[in-house]
Copies of this chain bind each other. A is one copy, B any other.
Amino acid sequence: MSERELGFLRIGELARRTGASPELLRAWERRYGLLRPTRSQGGFRLYTAADEARVRRMRDHLSHGVAAAEAARLALAAEAAAPAARPPEVAATAPLQAAARELAAALDQFQEEQAHEVLDRVLAAYRIETVLRDLLIPYLHDLGERWARGEVSVAQEHFAANLVRGRLLGLARGWGQGHGPAAVLACLPAEQHDLGLLAFGITLQRRGWRIVYLGPDTPIATIHHAIGRITTDLVVLTSTVAEHVAANADAIADLARSTPVALGGAGATAELAARTGAHLLDTDPVTAAERIPTPAAPRRSGRR
């Protein structure tokens, strides 16, 4: 199970690899449903690597004296449990919370594949905004708290954050194209946490905005430079530390005189917003983005 062996095996090769005769493999299929190969155009059985693993488990159980029918049952059952492909009725009441627990469990164990699997499933079933607001942001919040309490190592936190960042960046792809109003997004100097800002940007983009993303630790001067080159309808700045916001208050105020500025993150207080003339974002990033009004909606005609 090392590499991406997407290929199919025919029965002879499977037999050779597992040490079970073709006749026996067919009997196991017929009697216990151990294998369910697809067929070639001409009807030959085609097996996958997963099938090979299952036969191995079967043989293993047999060598331990388990009767064939039971060995097959066990070999099959191992699959229902291991890949959490099917959330086994745990917490049937709140599927999304169950998914959050699954995600946490996978990431705590450095199980990249299973984490992606959970995210794939959830993204297929829910709107992105919901996944961000009700799954990923609470998860990241919880992760941060567990890290603060020492329940999670730096390695686990980094692993999880980077995996989530990768997914968010994937969702963000192409967010700068289109014709809507444009927002410039940046973390204030010294601020490294950009996941909330990414969620904000994704939500905003899905409401018709174009996003110019400057990311963590951005000097205010850089923002001036960006604004000079792009018609900008909104600048969004975030920081988790109020002191860092305060340290940049004058520059922010200066910026806010020429362009609408919104201030978010745990370090953004009402007092600082008032002082800088910025708009305060005081809810979760998704809700905050949904509340941003669209500037000067174009009046369209139905008549031509």
Contact = CB atoms under 8 A, between A and B. Distances in A.
Among the interface residues A37, A176, A182, A299, which one has the most CB atoms of the partner chain B within 10 A?
A: A176
| Copies of this protein chain in the complex | 3
Among the interface residues A97, A232, A302, which one has the most CB atoms of the partner chain B within 10 A?
A: A302
B304 A17 contact: no
A74 B112 contact: no
A300 B169 contact: no
B225 A297 contact: no
A24 interface: no
Contact of A70 (B8, B80, B162, B173): B8
B297 A159 contact: no
A273 to B, nearest CB: 16
B226 A110 contact: yes
Contact of A159 (B86, B114, B212, B216): B212
Given A7-B71, A31-B300, A123-B170, 11 more contacts: A9-B66, A17-B65, A36-B179, A79-B179, A92-B127, A112-B176, A116-B173, A153-B225, A154-B225, A159-B215, A179-B207
